A and B are shown apart, each in its own frame.
Chain A
Amino acid sequence: MQRFLDLAISSVLLAGLYATMAYGLGLIYGVLRVVNLAHGGVIMAGAYLGWLSFSRLGLDPYLSIPLVVAATFAFGVFMYRVLVRHLPRGAAGGPQSLLLLFGVWLVIRNVAYLAFTGDDQAIRTSYSTKSIELMGSFVSVNRVVVFAIALLTPLGLHFLLRRTYMGKAIRAVAQNADSCTLVGVDVERIYALTFGMGTALAGLAGLLSATLFSFNPAFGAGELLKSFVVVVMGGLGSMVGLGVAALILAVIEVYSILVLPAYLTAAVGFVMLVLVLIFRPGGLFGHRVLG
């Protein structure tokens, strides 16, 4: 029984990490219909930014969240203004945007190799290996904090999208950009802000990952794949769906160790991805517009 409880706690905490990785990808696709392949590169950049502010400025990684989010937001807006805005959107722009953003990822990665070499880096705080007891299980403090931030993030996004003018404009642009232009919404500005927000969420995911794992410039590839699985399962554009999909993925991955060899548990998510694409291509929760 205790073993099942341990696995349940692990699943929930892992789901928090997966959801954090996927929010940015889901937001950008939901509004711009662009698959941001640079997402993995920004996750890696977020990890390095957190590491730099910890090692050079002595800033606790959780206190550096505003710094990392602001820096990656600015980078996202810059990327949109300089590159992404020139691309056709939706299915017509698919190949171009995929190639361009993949190229951006390669550039980010190689800049990181130049700046930091290929050495593995890690953030070690006084609480990196500390744990708290939860229903008889020892749970890493860092994983609990990551989970809490993963819960707060969609709440913040929900508030932003539902209660603010900018959020309403983002939802309106996601539904029909042409009509928004007719009623005076600055669509290009909304696109730039959304791309910036999605990129900032990727940076946040990178920073949070850096509190748990070591990383190097190749970091982010596995995270991008997990994000894809969550976004496709959750339904493109559905924030609540992303959270639930992350939980389903984590539960299945963690509990599968009871029946499968450990090395196959990582593949379970990709099998699920294929099944969802075949049987429910709109995602488990359908295609909503930033609900």
Chain B
Amino acid sequence: MRRGAVLLLFLSAALWPGEPAALAPLDEASFHRVVASAKGKVVLVSFWATWCAPCREEMPHLVRLESALRAKGFQLITVSADEPEDAAEAMAFLRKVGVPPPAYIKHTTNNDQFITAVDRQWSGALPASFLYDRKGRKVRSFIGEVDLKVLEAEIRKLL
């Protein structure tokens, strides 16, 4: 039953056309499935949280970038690192900024394992973004505030 609910949330977040319907829970295993399912696109996975001021500042820029490059095959995937009780606040922020789906929220019983599964070198510091090429290979990590010019150049190179 719980699996069914999780699957429904997962699908609703992944398929909703305009904005995320809800934040789908994302654990270590499903993170890799999500990245793999986006093969064929250049993907930026952006980890953020409502309490992270630089994350909130950079999100509108990432949305603009996604909007400009979507037709060329770029996709933005957001993962909130908020606590479950802050999911509604996270959702409200994504709606306000117009972040497109899919949008997820970290859901793990072992934070260390989750962070290591995403990137062994990542300490878990936010914001953090990871860029994947069309084959699903991680090509660049951005820990801390992203340099938008560098990011856009990297994305365009991969598209």
Determine if chain A interacts with chain B.
no
B contact residues vs A (CB 8 Å cutoff) = none
A contact residues vs B (CB 8 Å cutoff) = none
